[in-house]
Amino acid sequence: MKTSLAFVAALLLFFSACTADRPTEVSSPNGAIRLSFCLADSGRMTYQVAVNDSAFILPSALGFEARNGVNLSDGFKVTATDFSSKDTTWTQPWGENKSIREHYNEMTVHLKNAAQTHLTMRFRLFDDGLGFRYEYRVPGVDSLFVMNELTSFNLANDGTSWSIPANFDTYELLYRTLPISRVENANTPITFKTTQGVYASIHEAALTNFPEMTLKHTDRNGFKSELASWPDGVKARFAGGNFNTPWRTIQIAPKAVGLINSGLILNLNEPCALTTTDWIRPMKYVGIWWGMHLGVESWIMDERHGATTANAKRYIDFAAANNIEAVLYEGWNQGWESWGSMQTFDYTKPYADFDIDEITRYAKEKGIQIIGHHETGGNIPNYEQQLDKAYQWYADRGIHVVKTGYAGGFPNGHSHHGQYGVQHYRKVVETAARYHTTLDAHEPIKDTGIRRTYPHMMTREGARGMEWNAWSEGNPPEHHEVLPFTRLLGGPMDYTPGTFDILFDKTRHSPRRKKWNDQDKGNSRVNTTLAKQLANWVILYSPLQMASDMIENYEGHPAFQFFRDFDPDSDWSQALAGEPGEFVVVARRAKQNYFLGASTNEEARTVIIKLDFLEKGKRYKAVIYADGKDADWKTNPTSYQIKERMVTANDSLSIVMAKGGGQAVSFMPI
């Protein structure tokens, strides 16, 4: 394979800056990815990466800056370098794939400077990308104040990128498709395709006690890490002189679907810390939620209150009759009337018209789980004061799944995504574990794979989800073809798909409807076809998967059979085809059944998919939920058709999708 001129030039620059005769290098197990680490004469650290012998990341800075004269960035000398490899397979209680191969080569560089600061740079290279982290040991200090991260990503080539703007308080922003060189800042994951055809995504793994990392454009195709800060400008603070950073990650693949199929983020997290996991299980759910977003129900106790005892039982009955395991209730507890000030919710006091003991008794009788809800409104001190009491109170009533929410500003100038917020989320995760409670976090810290360590942290929002369609211009059709290649690379998303009343015909002119959101211009709708809503149950992975619409819109609807049959407890998954922002096709196996979801952007398209993922030697009944021949997301979104055929692993499927449409298929062995 020929070495590019750009790579030769980069190597010359790299070698000229190094004090050693040659840089320290490590390669991925298949040899396709190579990382080089170097020290300049000043003791400053850099790294660079090549993919298939072509320059991918040019020499880029490493290190941090701290307060009070603590030197974390230069004057270092290498004291030792270790190399190791690992090739094993581990299993998880749930996930896109239950079995994950962890195969990497590791280079550990031990450094020390004149102030006796010890730094271990740990580089791990997998066939699907790489990660590196910093492990600092600073002697003789009572506390450390990190002020800046120097880590850079100087890409060798321009290309096309997909990202949201950097924001330390929300991820609920629309994605942009831009040349890499024109991205001023971005949150991660930021995904891109270089002009040399390499697909990659920059993110982080194992974010536990550190502020989140965003990227700021430097020059040409270069970016530098920008960390969320405390109100006083400090980025991270630590008692004592020791700290480890999260992994800085780069997923790399020759095809776009290779990013989706990557296990890199999970593999860079610590193994499961729980002694038992049999209490953690995927579920389908419905809930009293969508009516509030549409404005026909309310979160507070008034004449439109959604979470009443009678309504709660109605949803339990529906779940029990439709192979659905759980029901979510929002607006059940006192405190919603304080919305708009400093919200002060009480997590153990139901409203008078929500008899939680009767509801939990009735749910148990019907074999249905209840998903509790803790909205904080951003009032972290109020929530933390009640944490143990609130989770114990739920557990005493047999409620072991909780959805949390943080829709509001944090107090005292704290950002959502700073170290303060990360520490709070970890406290909630650890508290929930003590009560064998699984979590679904909305307005969360972005997913960085901690579900490997704490598998009860099952799903989270962290992007513009379904709710935006209820009271704004909504999410454009291409949104659902960007998310799998960006946000979902971090982990599962509680997007809450499955709205059937796409044009809100049954609620738009209801006398019960009241405008509650300033973004509501009266023309909101869901910007997909009905078949695409079904497909998103497969594509937008979540082990807690919701049918988001009000249950009256499902009753008697033939297309709802797909959700009845669907099983979110996936054993195996694979993205089969797709391009960011254009289309995506995903297949999953749950026990003996397979499910396929395909979707497209504003462009109608046909995709031919081989069914060789099915078990060989078996015949399957394929039930195909497709766009109608006259379907169009703008003009005729609810047109659909249901077809059946017998298939084997030797067959192919022609997936025909309307503009903004999709297709969902269930495969059940005969």
Catalytic residues: 467
Taking each helix axis from N to C end, the angle separating 309-321 and 356-366, rounded to the nearest 10 degrees, works out to 10
Residue type present at position 137: R
| The two structure tokens encoding residue 111 | 């450094």
SS3 of residue 358 by DSSP: helix
The Cα 263–Cα 270 span in angstroms is: 13
Alpha-carbon distance values, 536 to 146, 240, 665 (Å): 41, 47, 11
Helix, strand, coil shares, percent, the chain, to 5: 20, 35, 45
SS3 of residue 341 by DSSP = strand
Question: Hey, how many other C-beta atoms are within 10 angstroms of the C-beta on 152?
Answer: 21
Cα 219 to Cα 93: distance, rounded to the nearest angstrom: 44
Bond from prior residue into 411 cis (ω within 30 degrees of 0): no
Residues 414 and 181: their CA atoms lie apart, in Å, by: 31
> By the 8 A CB rule, do 77 and 112 touch?
yes
Other beta carbons within 10 angstroms of residue 85's beta carbon come to 11
CA distance linking residue 354 with residue 344, whole number of Å: 19
Any bridge partners for residue 317, and if so which?
none
Query: What is the H or E stretch that residue 557 is in?
Result: none
DSSP annotation of 635 reads: T
Instruction: Kindly state the DSSP code that residue 480 receives in the 8-state scheme.
Output: H
C-alpha separations of 239 from 31, 143, 242, 243 in Å: 41, 4, 8, 9
Query: Token pair 């659909």 is at which residue?
Result: 640
Q: What is the DSSP letter of 337?
A: G
For 266, the enclosing helix (H) or strand (E) is: helix 264-267
Q: Which residue has the tokens 């609810």?
A: 638
The count of other CB atoms within 10 Å of the CB of residue 401 is 25
Q: Look at residues 94, 92, 121 and name the one whose alpha carbon lies nearest to residue 109.
A: 121
DSSP secondary structure letters along 148-171: EE--EEEESS-EEEEE----SS--
Supply 522's token pair: 């009266």
Give the whole-angstrom CA distance, residue 613 versus residue 94.
Answer: 20
**DSSP-derived secondary structure letter, 615:** P
Residue 94's φ and ψ, nearest 5 degrees, are -160, 165
> Closest by alpha carbon to 342, among 298, 386, 382, 302?
382
